[in-house]
Structure 1
C-alpha cells in the first residue's frame, strides 16, 4: 500500500544519504509553509513567482494547505522537523493534465529535494488519474529546469517571452524507472557509508565478561584490525579500558559522534539506547538484540527516522567489511578478505556462509546479517555491491520480501555485472512456518519465489550445500559460453555418472571433433575412450592426463571441462588440474570435503552430481547475463475504458468484492483481446435454444448461481449438445438441479480437441500480480504441473513460462500430435499479464481449460474474482 496515498508519512533519502520525511500538507502546516516562502532569497522568490512580492507567502500557504481533493494535492519535505520543500499540483483545463509548482529552501539546494518531491507527487497524481504534468518556468531558472530534465520523464518544451512551458507525461517506463533507480542507488550508497566504512564505532551494552555478545563484538572489532576509533558503553565500567578500548557510561559521554553504533542491550532497553545514540549524533545502528515486541519495533524505527539513522536488525549477527578491516559480528573467526558480498536474514546461516567462504579461500568483501529487516535489507546490500569496486559475487539468504518488485529490478541490474546466488528458504510447509515465526514476516509460496528469482536473473539453489558448490565455481572460474561439457576421467564409471547428471541438469555432452579424437588417440593408451566422455584409463600418468585436458579444452564444440579423478597408487592426478582456457572443475572421488579449491583455482567436488549442478548454475547465469531484460509489449487493441467500467461497476455494487458473473467475466477478458469460445448469456430455456441456433451445435451449457465455482463438481455443466431438444432438456435438468438460485446459463460453442492448459493470474499480497501457467483440465490440481512469473510479462518471459512446466513437451509436437500454436499461446499470457498488472482489483483469474491447437488457442471457461485494492507504487523511492 502506498503510504503517500493514505496520507501517512514516508521517509526517503536525499542525494547525500540524509533522510527526509515526505507527507501531505494540511491546515496544520500553514505556518511552516508560510515561513518557508518568507525565507526564500530574492532570487528564489523571483524564479518561483516571476516577481519579488514577499506578501504572497500567506496567500500561497493558504492555497497549498487547503483540503486535498481531486483538484489539488500538495506534499512537503521535512528535514529534522523543518519544512525544506513543497510541491503541489492543480488540474488545468486539459483533461488528465495538472500544473505543478515547487519551492525548495535555499539551504538545501542541490541535495535532491525537488526531484524527490517530483517523484512522490507524480506517483500520487497517477493514482488520481492525472496523466501529464505541466510546468511554466522562467528560462533563467536553470535549477528547476534541471530537476525536470533529470527526472527521467519524457518532456516537451515550448518557449515564449523568457518562459518555458514543459509538458511531462506521467509514464513509468524503463527510462523513467532507470533514472529513479540510479538516484536511489547513489543516495542509498551514501547512507550506508557510515555503516560499512565507519570512522568511529561505539558498542552499547559491551560487557566485561567474555562470552557475552557485547564483549565478543568489541574484541572482534579490535582484533580484526579496525583502524578507526572504538568505544565501549557500559555504566558499570565507565572510565576503564574494556577489552582494549575506552569505556564510557552512556552514549551522551562519547567524545565524538559515532558513525556506527552496535547495540547489544536487553530488548526492553533497546529503544532508550537508540534514542540516546540519536541525540549524540549517531549515523547508523546495528541492533543485535532479539525479543523485541511489536511496540518496541515501532518505537525503534520511529526513533531511527526521527534522528535520520539507518538501522540493521534487530535480531542479527552484525556486519563486516573486510576492505576496512571491520568485523562487528560475534562470529568465532574473522572472515577472510575476498570478493563475495553476503546478505542474510538468519545469523546462523550467516555464520555458516562466512566459515565456508573463508575455508574455500573465496573470502568476503562485505557482510550484513539484516535479521528482522526493519530498515536495511537485501535491496540495500545489492545497491552497495553494485557501487562497490571489490564485490564480484553476491550471496543472499532472504526469508521474506518487503518490496519484491524493486528487489527484482535491482537484482536484474546487478546480475548484469556479477552472479547473485540464493537458497530457496521456506519451500516446504514446515519450512514456511519456521521462516514466518523466525522473521515475523509473511511466508511466500515456492512457485512465486522461483518466479521472482528467475526473472531477476538470480541463481536459486535448493540448499546451502548446492549454493556453496555453485559459489566455488563462479568465484574461481570464467563463465561458460554454452552448455556443452567435456568429461575426462581415469575411471569410466565416473564419466558415465557425470554424463547422466549432465542430461538431468540440461547440459549436453557433445561428441568431440574427429581431430580432437585423433589427437587423444595419439597420446592416450590404446584402450582409452576418446569420444566424450573421455576415459584415459587408470594407468595414465599425470602429465598425459594434463595433456588430454588441454586437447579437450581446445575443441570448439566444448564450453567447459569436467575432470573426474579416482585416486590410485599409480599416479596423483590432482596436480594435473588447472591451466585450461575454458571453465574447469574436477571431481575427486573419495574427497572428504564436499567442495575444495586447489591452489591453481580449480574447484574440486566429492561427487559428479555436485559439479554438474554447479556448471548448470554457471551456464544459467551466463545465458541470462547477455540478454537485455526487454519490456512488456504494447497492446494497442486493448479497450481500457471498457475494462475499467466493468470492474468499477461491480465493485460499486459489491464493495467487498466477489466473483464476476460469467457474462461480465467474459466481456472483461474480451476487452483485453483474450480469445474465448463463442458464447451467449441466457436466462430462459427459449433463449438457450435460440443461442444454440446462432452459435451452431454442438454447444455446452454452464449454469451460474451464487456459490458455484467448480461447475463439474456442482453438476452445473452439460456438454456435447447436438440438437435443440438436447439443449432444452439440458436447460431443464440444470434448472431442476440448481433451483431458485439459478441466475442464468452460458451457452457456448464446443471447442475442438487440443491440449488442455491452465492460464491464470493471482494477486499475491506481497508480490503483486503473478501469472500462472501449466497443465489444465479437471486434473489440473492433481497434476500440480505449474510455473509462474511476475506480471507484466515481456515476450521472452512469456516464452520461458511456456517452456517450464512438463506439459510444455506436448506443445512442441511428436509423430502422433502436431505442435500447438505457441505464438497464440504467448499472446494469451501477455494479455492476461497486462490485465492483471493494469487492474490490481483482479484478485484471481482462471482460464481452465485453455485449449491449444495447431491453428490457435481458445479459452472455454473463465472465472474472475475482484477485490478492492489500494493503489501501490513499488518503485517509489522510500524507506521502510
Structure 2
C-alpha cells in the first residue's frame, strides 16, 4: 500500500487497517518514506524494496506523487492498481492531463487500474479476503456484486446491504473509470461463479454500445440492476424535430436498459428491493400472486401495488378455498387476499401459506403480518420460513409496525426470505423478478435485414450535402423511404399552378396541397397545409392561400415547390422516427402521432439495431397502445406490417448514421397492411465532414 500512514484517522491509515482487519490472504507491505513500521507491520520506503512479488498496489498519495508511484509499480511488475487519490479530471484540465498520463503508464506496462478518485475494492472470497476501502464495515459473504461510480454512495450501499443481511461477493468503486470501467466489471462478473446478481450505480456511460452487447450476454443467466443518475437535463438543448423533442438522453437510457434486459431502479432503495428478491428467492413462473395477511388495510395496499406493477391476484381454486375454510375462523376471508384476521396464530399463517403455495394458480406469495398483542413476531416468521423452504416459489415477507419487528426481520433474512416494512416494496421486488423471469424465457433473435437500395440513399445524401443542405428536400426524403421499402402516400412535386393542376388530375381528387421548402420545417404549425381538396376550384383557392402564406412567411415563391398528395382518410396517426443521441448513436422512436405528439409524449424508444422482439416491445411500451388494438368496435392495425416498418427504419438508421433526425409524422396505420403509409417525412443529416467519415465506415 503506497501511502500507508502512521497517523491514526488518516485515509492512508484507515485503508491499511482495513486490509489487516479483513485478514487478507497474503503479505501486506506498507510503503512509507520514513517510518520503520506502520501498525506494527514492517514498512518499506519504496515498493521496489519489498521482498517478494506484488500483485496489487493501492495508491493513496497526493496527486503530484501518483505518476511516480505508478512508474515504480510498473518497474516492480505489478499488474493491478487501485488509485484512491482524487484531483484528476474531476477538477479540471490539469488533473485531466495527469489522468491521461496515468492511463498511458498503465497501458504501456500492461497494468489494470481502478480509479482514480475511488473508494476502493472489496472481495469476500475466502481465498482472497480483500478490503481495500475506507468503508465503515466489511460485508458478509454473498452472491451480489456491486459497482459504484460514487465513492460516498458506495459507503452507503455497503452499510445498507449489511442492514439487510444481503451478502456481497465483490464491491468496486470505479471512480473516474479511467482504465477499468463498468463494462470491464460486467465482462469479468459474467463468468464468475461467485456472482449471481449484479448491482450498478452509474453517473455516465463511456461505451453504451459495448454495454448493450455485454448486458445481453450477462442477463441470460444473471440479473443486472442499475441506478442511472441524472434523469433531468438542466437547460435541455433545442431540437428541430418532433422525435428529438421526446427522445431525450434519459429516455434513450430507458430504451437501452429495456433492450438488454437490465432492470432500472429509480433509487438506491428500489435497487435493494429488487436485489433482495433476485438474490434470495427462486424466479416466479408467472405473475399470479397470493396475498396472506392478518390486516385488511395492508392487503388492499398490496393489491393496489400488485395491479399497478403488472402483477395479478391469483384466483384460488375451489379446493384451496375449501381447505382454508375448514381450518380458519369463519370470519376469515379465504379468497385472495387471504385475510386471517388480527388474532391469527403462527400455525394459521403456516397453514394458509402452505395451502396457497400448493395451488397451481399461484406463482408467488406476499405474507403481511401486523403484530397484535397475542401473537409473537418470531413465531410467525419461523412459520413463514418453514413453509417457504418446501416450495420452489418466491415468498416475500412484510412486517408492519414497530413492536418486535427487528427480530422478525432478522429471522426471515436468516432464511433468505426478503423482508420489507411496507407492501409496496414487496410488490416492487416481485414485479422485478417477474419481469426478469419473462425476459429469461423469451429467446432473442438477430436484427432483421431487408433487401434495400443502399446505393440510391447514398446518392441522395451526397447530393444534399453537395448543395449545403442540412435537411433533405421532400422529394429526396420520400425517395429514401422508397429505397428502404417504407410505404408512403402517392405524391408529386410541382413548381407552379400549371403543374399542380396537371398532377391533381393524375392523382385523382381529393388531394392535399403542402408548401415544400427547406426553410419550413413544420408545415402544419406554419399553416402550410390544405387538406381534402375535392375539385379544381378548391385546389385553386388553396393554391392562392398558400401563395399568400408564403409572402407572409417571407419565403420567396421562386425558391419554393408545392407537394401534392393523394388525400388519405381514416387510419390511426402515429410517429415513427430516428434520433441520434450523443454516446448512443441512433434510436428508433414510435408513438402516437399527429399534431399533439409533443403534448402527449406517448413515445417509446429503442436503440439501433432492433430485432423483432425489440419492435414488438416498442409498440407494447405505449401507454395508448389500446388505440392501436381498436376501441369501440374498431379493427386492430396491421401489427405485423408495423413491426416490419420499424425494423426497416432501424436498418436505415444503422446503415446511415449520418441521418441524425427523421420524422414520419403522421405515419397512418390501418387494419389492412397495404394501406399503411407515411404521409409526411422530414430528414436531417450531419455535416459534410461527419458524413465523409460515415461513408468510409459503410464502404
Instruction: Indicate whether the TM-score tops 0.5.
Output: yes
- Report the equivalent of 1:289: 85
**Residues 533-682 of structure 1 aligned to structure 2 (within 5 Å):** 533-572=337-376, 573-578=380-385, 579-580=387-388, 581=391, 582-590=393-401, 597-636=412-451, 638-654=452-468, 658-682=470-494
- The 8 Å contact of residues 472 and 518 in structure 2, kept in 1 or not, is answered as no
Per-residue deviation, 1:516: 0.8
SS of 1:844's equivalent in the other structure is strand
Structure 1 equivalent of residue 525 of structure 2: 713
SS in 2 for 1:598: helix
- By how many angstroms is 1:722 displaced? 1.5
Question: Contact 1:426/1:432 (CA < 8 Å) preserved in 2?
Answer: no
- Partner Cα separation in structure 1 for residue 86 and residue 639 of structure 2: 52
1:530-589 C-alpha deviation (Å, 9 max, x unpaired): 121111122221112101100000000110011111110121333321223121011111
Once residues 553 and 221 of structure 1 are traced to their aligned partners in structure 2, the CA distance between those partners, rounded to angstroms, is: 46
Q: Please say if residues 688 and 728 of structure 1, whose CA atoms lie closer than 8 Å, have aligned partners that are also in contact.
A: no
Q: Which stretches of structure 1, 4 residues or more, deviate above 6 A after TM superposition?
A: 592-596
- The 1:644–1:545 alpha-carbon spacing in structure 2 relative to 1, beyond 3 Å, is same
Equivalent in the alignment of 1:86: none
- SS of the equivalent of 1:756 reads strand
Aligned-residue offset at 1:427: 1.1
Equivalent in the alignment of 2:29: 231
Deviations 1:776-816 (A, max 9, x none): 11111111112111111111110101011112121112224
Structure 1 residue 432, shift from structure 2 partner: 10
* Distance in 2 of aligned mates of 1:424 and 1:266: 30
Question: Cα distance, 1:512 vs. partner?
Answer: 0.6
Name the CA shift for 1:501/1:393 in 2 (closer, same or farther; >3 Å).
same
SS in 2 for 1:558: coil
Instruction: Show the counterpart of 1:781.
Output: 598
Query: Deviations 1:667-716 (Å, cap 9, x if unpaired)?
Result: 00111111111111111111122222121222212212232111122222
Q: Is the 8 A contact 1:844 1:865 kept in 2?
A: yes
Q: Partners in 2 of 1:244 and 1:740 — Cα distance? A: 87
Give the alignment's TM-score, normalised by structure 1.
0.72
TM-score normalised according to structure 2 size = 0.90
What whole-Å deviation, never above 9, does each CA across 1:395-451 have from its counterpart, x for those lacking one?
111211111111111111111111111113211236999xxxxxxxxx972211111
In structure 1, the partner of 2:583 is: 766
**1:82-231 → structure 2 map (5 Å cutoff):** 203-231=1-29
Spell out, residue by residue over 1:597-653, the C-alpha distance to the aligned partner (whole angstroms, 9 max, x if none).
Answer: 4322211111111110110000111110122221112313x2222122222332344
Give me the whole-angstrom Cα distance separating, in 1, the residues matched to 2:34 and 2:520.
70
In structure 1, the residue corresponding to 2:69 is in which secondary structure? helix
1:63 is matched with none
State how far apart, in whole Å, the 2-side matches of 1:649 and 1:244 are. 76
Select the residue among 198, 204, 229 that pairs with 1:425: 229
Contact 1:662 1:862 in 2 (8 A): yes
Would you say the 8 A contact 1:419–1:474 is kept in 2?
yes
**RMSD after superposition:** 2.2
> What aligned pairs does 1:328-477 form with structure 2 within 5 A after superposition?
328-429=132-233, 445-477=249-281
Q: Where in structure 2 are there 5+ consecutive unaligned residues? A: 89-94, 238-246
Question: Residues 726 and 246 (structure 1 numbering): CA distance in 2 closer, same or farther, change over 3 Å?
Answer: farther
Cα distance between partner residues in 1 of 2:39 and 2:463: 70
Deviation for aligned residue 1:477: 0.8
Report the equivalent of 1:794: 611
Structure 1 residues 731 and 266: alpha-carbon distance in aligned structure 2, compared to 1, 3 A threshold: farther
Question: Which one scores higher on RCO, CA 8 angstroms, separation ≥ 6?
Answer: 2
Q: Distance in 2 between matches of 1:444 and 1:220?
A: 43
* CA-to-aligned-CA distance 1:256-310 (integer Å, 9 cap, x gap): 4422111112223322322222223221211111121221121111111221111
How far did 1:871 drift? 4.6
Greater strand share, 1 or 2? 1
Q: Distance in 2 between matches of 1:279 and 1:872?
A: 45
Stretches of structure 1 that go unaligned for 5 or more consecutive residues are 1-202, 434-442, 875-880
Distance in structure 2 (CA, Å) of the matches to 1:205 and 1:354:
24
Instruction: Give the deviation of 1:751 after TM superposition.
Output: 1.7
Q: 2:55 aligns with which of 259, 266, 270?
A: 259
Partners in 2 of 1:818 and 1:865 — Cα distance? Answer: 35
Cα separation, partners in 2 of 1:265 and 1:707, compared to 1, 3 Å: farther
Q: Aligned partners of 2:234, 2:227: CA distance in 1, in Å?
A: 16
* Residue matched to 2:103: 301
- Verify the 8 A CA contact 2:658 2:694 in the aligned structure 1: no
Q: Supply the distance in 2 between the matched residues of 1:495 and 1:390 (Cα, whole angstroms).
A: 37
In structure 2, distance between residues paired with 1:207 and 1:414: 40
Secondary structure of the residue that 1:447 maps to in structure 2? helix
1:838-878: per-residue Cα shift (whole Å, max 9, x none)? Answer: 1111111111111222223221111111113445999xxxx
Tell me the equivalent position of 1:200.
none
Aligned to 1:38: none
Alpha-carbon separation, structure 2, partners of 1:643 and 1:281:
54
Alignment of 1:701-780 (within 5 A): 701-738=513-550, 739-740=555-556, 742-780=559-597
